[in-house]
Amino acid sequence: MTAARREDEVMELARRRGFIWAAFEIYGGASGFFDYGPLGAALKRKIESLWREFYTLGEGFYEIETTTIGIRDVFDASGHLECFMDKMVECKKCHSLFRADHVGERCPDCGGEFSEPQDFNLMFKTRIGAVTSVGGKSEAYLRPETAQGMFVNFPRLLRFHRNKLPFGIIQIGRAYRNEISPRQGIIRLREFTLAEAEVFVLPHEKNKHPRFHEVEDVVMRLKPNYMDEEIEITVKEAVERKIIAHEYLGYHMARVQQFLEKIGIPVERLRFRQHEHDEMAHYAEDCWDAEFLSDRFGWVEIVGIADRGDYDLSAHSRKAKVDMSVPVVTGGEEAEGAREGNENLSVFPHVIEPSYGIDRIIYALLESSFYKEEVRGEVRRVLRFKRCVAPVEVAVLPLLNRKELVNKAKEVFQMIRSHGIFAEYDASGSIGRRYRRQDEIGTPYCVTIDYETLENDTVTIRDRDSMKQVRVSIAELPAKLRGDVESMFTFSR
Ligand SMILES: [Zn+2]
């Protein structure tokens, strides 16, 4: 199966089964915009919940929610007005627009000649309220990242944390980039969801992360910008050899890999690529992309981990005339030494930022979970989602659409749901067809009610991946589905 056909198959399944489809489809769609259907929204919500837990429970970070529209001052200070640009060319013949770095000398559509490249700002511009005759303050932009909302609130967040550094803040939400000519489906969107963490730390403390020992043995595949090949190396060694600049960056890169693995992205399709110096965003001191190896698109960035230095806090301090520097003693005992000889020493905290592109992660999950095989002359398509992200955890199916089986199945269905397990009930079509449908949407387990159920109150649980079935009593079903259901099939294999 060619890569293009595989992607088409995955996206065809995603459309047909209600994961993702083009926005405004009845009007012909608009490139760069997608909607999530019922199963896609459920999948996305699960990934976001796991992400939120990973950083709140796992790291002790707090979540905030800031506006998606930002006033001009914010993006003037952040550098986005001046620097958030792509070079654009226009075909002189058919007037199609392209990103200059995505095309050669001639228009791929008609062979026409291109205009001189022009700068194009990628922010969507809007107005707040009515337009005044002199413009000015009403000018606003849809945010290109959620991060700025966390930077402009830094003084309040610092107070909330009782003036103690380091601390981390997270945010999940929509962001917008007015891409010139997005032609890569869900990989390049004009409206998308970011999940970002901003970790504020004193610059001299970046070399020592208090929990570094927990991740130091994580093996990562790195592609540093000064090397031609990739290396496999532990985080500990990478930091010791200064391939990764410091422990804070190394720690958060390892945590990114752990999160991606946790939700089911295969680690053998992951690498971390360091940005070339001329490729780095205007705010970044150092930046690594976690990239997923896609069958269709090659290496695709799904998470960016940047050391933004003090770029943002110092820029907002200047623009807003609010001093966001902190006395170095904020860092506690270790920083006390740094204070000696300079009572008034203050610095801007540095920011380490893991920034996750949720939509691309969803694409990566769909592509890497998709599996096709022939079973008794029929094609079986499967999304091998891990249970923690599967939109439907359990399907409850009466073997046949007969009243006595249907009644019992509905009873079991309600009982499972009352235990907090998200289940779907399906009685339409042959049992084989219903299994295939559940396989396609990635449901890990099907519970089937048959005539034996009516005799002795037992049901079968079918495992999506092995297609094996085990029989359990209804009484122990919730506990099995909650807890050791996987081990039941591991032992039977
Ligand atoms: Zn053209």
Residue 381 within any structural domain of the chain: no
Cα–Cα distances (Å) from 222 to 108, 244, 272, in that order, read: 34, 9, 5
Nearest to 361 by CA among 47, 23, 113, 127: 47
Dist. CA 425 → ligand 1 center (Å)? 52
**293 and 397 in a common domain:** no
Ligand 1 centroid from CA 92, angstroms: 7
Q: What is the mean pLDDT of residues 329-346?
A: 56
Distance, CA of 445 to CA of 468 (rounded, Å): 10
What is the predicted pLDDT for the residue at 376?
Answer: 86
Are residues 253 and 181 located together in one domain of the fold? yes
The answer to whether residues 326 and 193 belong to one domain is yes
Q: What percent of the chain has pLDDT over 70?
A: 94
pLDDT confidence bin for 2, thresholds 50/70/90: low
Greater confidence (167 vs 280) lies with 167
**Residue 467 covered by a domain:** yes
Task: Check whether residue 246 and residue 285 sit in a common domain.
Answer: yes
Distance from Cα 97 to the centre of ligand 1, integer Å? 8
Mean pLDDT, residues 228-252 taken together:
97
Look over the chain and give the mean of its residue pLDDT values, rounded to a whole number.
92
Binned at pLDDT 50, 70 and 90, residue 339 comes out as very low
The answer to whether residue 91 sits within a structural domain is no
pLDDT in tens, 168-227: 999 999 999 999 988 888 889 999 999 999 999 999 999 999 999 999 999 999 999 999
**Residue 402 pLDDT > 60:** yes
Q: Specify the number of domains making up the chain.
A: 2
Is residue 220 located within the same domain as residue 356? Answer: yes
- The pLDDT, as a whole number, for residue 330 is 45
- Domain membership of residue 460 (yes or no) is yes
Within this chain, do residues 335 and 451 fall inside the same structural domain, yes or no? Answer: no
Clarify whether residues 234 and 283 are in a common domain.
Answer: yes
Average pLDDT over residues 134-144: 83
The answer to whether residue 421 is domain-embedded is yes
pLDDT band at 450 (very low <50, low <70, confident <90, very high): very high
pLDDT of residue 282: 83
- CATH code for position 447: 3.40.50.800
State the distance from the centre of ligand 1 to the C-alpha of 82, rounded, in angstroms: 29
| Residues 396, 259 share a domain | no
Region 342-347: mean pLDDT is 77
User: Counting beta carbons within 10 angstroms of the beta carbon of residue 336, is it exposed (0 to 12), middle (13 to 18) or buried (19 or more)?
Assistant: exposed
Q: Is residue 111 part of a domain?
A: no
The residue out of 366, 383, 417 marking a domain boundary is: 366
Is residue 44 within 8 Å of residue 385, measured between CB atoms?
no
Q: What's residue 331's pLDDT?
A: 46
Instruction: Based on the fold, state whether residues 189 and 304 are members of the same structural domain.
Output: yes
Residue 428 belongs to what domain range?
392-492
- Ligand 1 midpoint to CA 88 (Å): 14
Residue 154 falls inside a structural domain: yes
**Is the same domain home to 164 and 310?**
yes
- Is the bond preceding residue 478 a cis peptide, omega within 30 degrees? no
pLDDT tens per residue across span 61-120 = 999 999 999 999 999 999 999 999 999 999 999 999 999 988 889 999 999 999 999 999
For residue range 250-306, what is the model confidence (pLDDT) as tens digits? 999 999 999 999 999 999 999 999 998 888 888 888 899 999 999 989 999 999 999
Same domain membership, residue 262 and residue 163 = yes
181 CA from centroid of ligand 1 (Å): 13
CATH number of the domain residue 288 falls in: 3.30.930.10
- How many percent of the chain have pLDDT more than 90? 83
Span from the CA of 17 to the centroid of ligand 1 (angstroms):
36
The structure's pTM equals 0.93
Mean pLDDT of 223-245: 96
* Over residues 119-129, mean pLDDT: 93
Tell me whether residue 194 is in a domain.
Answer: yes
Ligand 1 centroid – CA 30 distance (Å): 19
Q: Residue 120 Cα, ligand 1 centroid: separation in angstroms?
A: 19
Tell me how far the alpha carbon of residue 183 lies from the centroid of ligand 1, in angstroms. 15
Choosing from 317, 351, 366, the residue where a domain stops is: 366
Residues at Cβ < 5 Å from ligand 1 ion = 91, 93-94, 96, 107, 109-110, 112
Q: Compute the distance from residue 116 Cα to the ligand 1 centre, in Å.
A: 14
Statement to judge: residues 206 and 241 lie in one domain: yes
